[in-house]
């Protein structure tokens, strides 16, 4: 083959390579644009959640205080139930019944 033919073939191969590279980069750009669009929607949703839940921390503090008081009351109730259970066991023994 002559040098001229090899030069033409090399130029054609380079052109095909550059066209393939341009197509690949275009496809990648479209994929990245799609991803960017999806990420924008996610970011917008996260901001909306942040705005909607901004009132929660003060309310959670109040709720936590109420639940702590409820917990203390339930612990006292548990103590009373334990005492009542002991009393009922004594009554059952006095009546000759087994504690089932």
The yes-or-no verdict on residue 51 having pLDDT over 70 is yes
Residues 2-49 pLDDT 10s: 999 999 999 999 999 999 999 999 999 999 999 999 999 999 999 999
Q: Cβ(50)–Cβ(43) under 8 Å? A: no
The yes-or-no verdict on residue 84 having pLDDT over 60 is yes
Q: Cβ(46)–Cβ(40) under 8 Å? A: no
Contacts of 99 (CB under 8 A, 6+ apart): 89, 92, 93
Tokens representing 22 are 């341009």
pLDDT at residue 42, as a whole number: 97
């Amino acid at each position: 083959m002559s040098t001229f033919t090899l030069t033409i073939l090399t130029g054609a191969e380079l052109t095909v390579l550059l066209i393939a590279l341009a197509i690949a980069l275009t496809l990648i750009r479209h994929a990245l644009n799609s991803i960017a669009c999806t990420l924008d929607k996610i970011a917008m949703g996260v901001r909306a959640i942040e705005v909607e839940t901004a009132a929660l921390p003060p309310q959670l503090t109040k709720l936590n205080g109420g639940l702590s008081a409820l917990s203390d009351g339930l612990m006292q109730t548990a103590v009373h139930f334990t005492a009542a259970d002991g009393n009922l066991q004594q009554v059952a023994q006095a009546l000759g019944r087994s504690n089932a």
